[in-house]
Structure 1
Amino acid sequence: MASSAEASGSCAIALVAGEPSGDLLAARLLAGLRPHLPEARFHGIGGPAMIAEGFVSEVPMETLTVRGLFEIIPRYRELKGIQRALRDRLLAERPAVFIGADYPGFNLGLEGELKAAGIPTMHYIGPQIWAWRGGRIKSIIRNVSHMLVIFPFEEEIYRKAGVPVTYVGHPLAELIPLEPDVAAARRALGFADDARVVTIMPGSRMGELKYNTAAFVGAVKLLQARDPGLRFVAPMAGDRQKAYFTELKAQAGLQDVEITLLDGRSHTAICAADAVLVASGTASLEVALFKKPMVIAYKMMRASWEIMRHMGYQPWIGLPNILAREFLVPELLQHHASAEALAENLWQQLTDAPHRARLVERFTAMHHSLLRNSAAESAAAVLKVIGRA
């Protein structure tokens, strides 16, 4: 029989998010859980969106953020120490459930140790086993009690593998309107309704900025020469990113290229745009949900690239193209992502009217396929796992 404290929702639920995308996912989950578990303690490692939902982060989320295969090596001992310390606390506390929000390299191992000790474990957003590292399914079977997935095609993959799974929809499909108000976004940024706006998004991580900035800004310079009337904006994830971006521009000799830097407000910047140059990742899906033409690009440390380019199972890396199962928009990777190539492809996205109309149609259908009440769906799955359905 449940104690009165348990019945009132007085329990601990532990979560770990290591990056902004996981922070967003977990925050939506917390928003769905809080009304059902008003006295629960939600804690672990998370970011500002989770903290806004009453989450207690015991380690700054930024401490976990690292990119690439080789870039993690210098920080391996530090990250392993954080993982072990958290594991020990959770084994002593025995929360009702542990939920890893993405960040599989850190979370799957932690989930395995907790599950072996009898603590239910959930993983929110499946690692991209359908894109690369398919052998990870064995680790998921061993370490995870229940998967929460955000793309409809993932449900069958886990069900066939014998992993309990729930498709909960993608939170971004709820946050982004089906019909974005472009005029309002342009007014918010001080642009005229008829301005031609290009948004560039070289990444939110410092490593992404390091490798992408010079080519992205070089493309802006070429496009400005082609059409001096174009306006360019770049949302920055924080002050550190903003300062680093400015420094990298100067190092590349591009300090005079005019780009309006925004403090956050990435959705406003995307909504206002006629086209977007975006680093591969969740941001490319955001651009698709805003129904915008785009060019997807990505650069990384050469050694990491040489390994990762042989590990993919699909011809696409951009989420819009993966979901569409075709190259709806261009993808330019590593040495192909030169300033010249980015500028030429972005110009085509700006000027090909029939292509732009087709993208609106395809991206609208994509939006509908991802649209669920993710807070309610994910919370219901958690409540079932902890016996509070």
Structure 2
Amino acid sequence: MVAGETSGDLLAGRLLSGLRPRLPDAHMHGIGGPAMAKYGFVSDFPMEKLSVRGLFEVLAHYREIKGIQNTLRDQLLAERPAVFIGVDAPDFNLGLEAQLKDAGIPTVHFVGPSIWAWRGGRIKKIARSVSHMLVIFPFEEEIYRKAGIPATYVGHPLAQVIPMEPDQAAARAELGLPQEGRVVAILPGSRMSELKYNAAAFVGAAKLLLQRDPSLRFVAPMAGETRHRYFQELIAQAGLQDVPLLIADGKSHAALAAADAVLVASGTASLEVALFKKPMVIAYKMMRASWHVLRHMGYQPWIGLPNILAREFLVPELLQDAATPQALADAMWLQLEDAAHRERLRQRFVEMHFSLLRDTAGESAQAVMNLIDRTGSLD
């Protein structure tokens, strides 16, 4: 198995929770994180090596990433595992999967690349690379089947993990936040590159919001100590170290449950915010060269998953030059102040939650077992 970042590790952990009881003695290894390790998964390389986003950012690390891919490929071709499961990270996994599939090793890809959003031509590469797709959005199954790629809709794992009615009081108690008053969660991203480009603007917006309401409390969950330190360095470089901010390592769900509104980087985290039924502003900044290329490659007007699933701008999206501290603060203030809007969003997010709810662990694990049985690769 290969998962390339925190969100992929969480998704893979859900799959392993269903797969490990079916294969109690199997050696499961590759690249992964702590959620996978809970089920006896052994990571052969640090997952952080793959946690790079953006065209030019990836190029800067290309030689190292390619070296990891080649080493893992050679190891797996010699080992001939019963199945290889690539979890998201399509630029890394699809190339690896193609070589393994050509050698007769069954391949599963969990989380379909967003071909419905951009780079639709990748579906041909997927067909060459993947024996079976596990997809997490209901509209994806038909897209892949029409292309001749076996696919199973397994729901989104987060829809099972996140409660339909989050306990805000318990989350605030866990984080040491007061029960009274308003809390804003700030999630600038789990990748180092995302922190680099988003941290200053996000915390700058918090500083401006405090001028409107000095009683606001802010919490920023971080994916581990390394990102925590880097986030603090970036804030200090921007002269924002005096903004009162609770940095909570590994507490993203508690932060979202505790919050009244969320400023979030585009990606899986924006869907988590929706599943916690919180109003939000989605923002994203990246290396300017990457932005100039990517902004012309989308097929639809939305980049945030809640908006894509709703097929409309349910929540604001502020990208690149538009994501100034002032613009973010103004947009966040509306999310905090408009009670009728907050209730409409909550209702829409409840509907979205139900649409994504399946026994993801069980159904994804069964699809993997069915493939193993069909190919006889466990014999």
**Normalised-by-shorter TM-score class:** over 0.9
The answer as to 2:102 corresponding to 1:116 is yes
Instruction: Give the stretch that moved more between structures: 187-196 or 334-343.
Output: 187-196
The answer as to 2:155 corresponding to 1:150 is no
In the TM superposition, what are the counterparts of 1:208-223 in structure 2 within 5 Å? 208-223=194-209
Equivalence for 2:294: 308
C-alpha deviation, 1:190, in angstroms: 2.2
The one of 4, 11, 21 equivalent to 2:7 is 21
Q: Tell me the distance in 2 between the aligned counterparts of 1:98 and 1:236.
A: 30
Q: Tell me the distance in 2 between the aligned counterparts of 1:74 and 1:354.
A: 46
8 Å contact kept, 2:189–2:265: yes
Instruction: Give the stretch that moved more between structures: 86-95 or 188-197.
Output: 188-197
Other structure's SS at 1:70 match: helix
TM score, norm. by length of structure 2 = 0.97
The one of 129, 136, 159 equivalent to 1:173 is 159
8 Å contact kept, 2:9–2:36: yes
* Deviation by residue 1:336-384 (Cα, 9 ceiling, x = unmatched): 0000000000000001011000011000000000011101000110010
Other structure's SS at 1:92 match: helix
* Deviation by residue 1:261-298 (Cα, 9 ceiling, x = unmatched): 11221100010101000000111000000000000000
Matched AA of 1:103: A
Equivalence for 1:248: 234
Report the CA distance shift for 1:78/1:191 in structure 2 as closer, same or farther (over 3 A). closer
Matched AA of 1:209: L
Other structure's SS at 2:124 match: helix
C-alpha deviation, 1:220, in angstroms: 0.6
The answer as to 2:41 corresponding to 1:55 is yes
Other structure's SS at 1:151 match: coil
Moved over 3 A (4+): none
Unaligned regions of 5+ residues in structure 1, if any? 1-14
In the TM superposition, what are the counterparts of 1:96-245 in structure 2 within 5 Å? 96-245=82-231
C-alpha deviation, 1:191, in angstroms: 2.5
Matched AA of 2:367: A
Q: Tell me the distance in 2 between the aligned counterparts of 1:25 and 1:239.
A: 21
Instruction: Give the stretch that moved more between structures: 179-188 or 308-317.
Output: 179-188
Matched AA of 2:227: Q
Q: Tell me the distance in 1 between the aligned counterparts of 2:100 and 2:56.
A: 28
Matched AA of 1:119: I
* Deviation by residue 1:122-175 (Cα, 9 ceiling, x = unmatched): 100000000000000000011111000000010110011110000001110000
Q: Tell me the distance in 2 between the aligned counterparts of 1:122 and 1:359.
A: 35
In the TM superposition, what are the counterparts of 1:23-102 in structure 2 within 5 Å? 23-102=9-88
The answer as to 2:359 corresponding to 1:384 is no
Q: Tell me the distance in 1 between the aligned counterparts of 2:226 and 2:25.
A: 36
Q: Tell me the distance in 2 between the aligned counterparts of 1:160 and 1:95.
A: 29
8 Å contact kept, 2:138–2:155: yes
Q: Tell me the distance in 2 between the aligned counterparts of 1:368 and 1:95.
A: 36
Q: Tell me the distance in 2 between the aligned counterparts of 1:359 and 1:374.
A: 25
The one of 283, 296, 305 equivalent to 1:297 is 283
Matched AA of 1:81: G
The answer as to 2:234 corresponding to 1:280 is no
C-alpha deviation, 1:197, in angstroms: 0.5
Equivalence for 1:323: 309
Matched AA of 2:282: I
Q: Tell me the distance in 2 between the aligned counterparts of 1:92 and 1:264.
A: 37
Other structure's SS at 1:73 match: helix
Other structure's SS at 1:229 match: coil
C-alpha deviation, 1:36, in angstroms: 1.3
* Deviation by residue 1:301-360 (Cα, 9 ceiling, x = unmatched): 000000000000010000000000000000000000000000000000001011000011
Q: Tell me the distance in 2 between the aligned counterparts of 1:34 and 1:220.
A: 43
C-alpha deviation, 1:192, in angstroms: 2.8
Aligned residue pairs: how many?
A: 375
C-alpha deviation, 1:187, in angstroms: 1.7
C-alpha deviation, 1:92, in angstroms: 1.0
* Deviation by residue 1:210-254 (Cα, 9 ceiling, x = unmatched): 111111111111100100111111111111211111111111111
Q: Tell me the distance in 1 between the aligned counterparts of 2:213 and 2:22.
A: 55
8 Å contact kept, 2:6–2:223: no
Unaligned regions of 5+ residues in structure 2, if any? none
C-alpha deviation, 1:60, in angstroms: 1.3
Equivalence for 1:373: 359
Q: Percent identity among equivalent residues?
A: 73
C-alpha deviation, 1:84, in angstroms: 1.0
TM score, norm. by length of structure 1 = 0.95
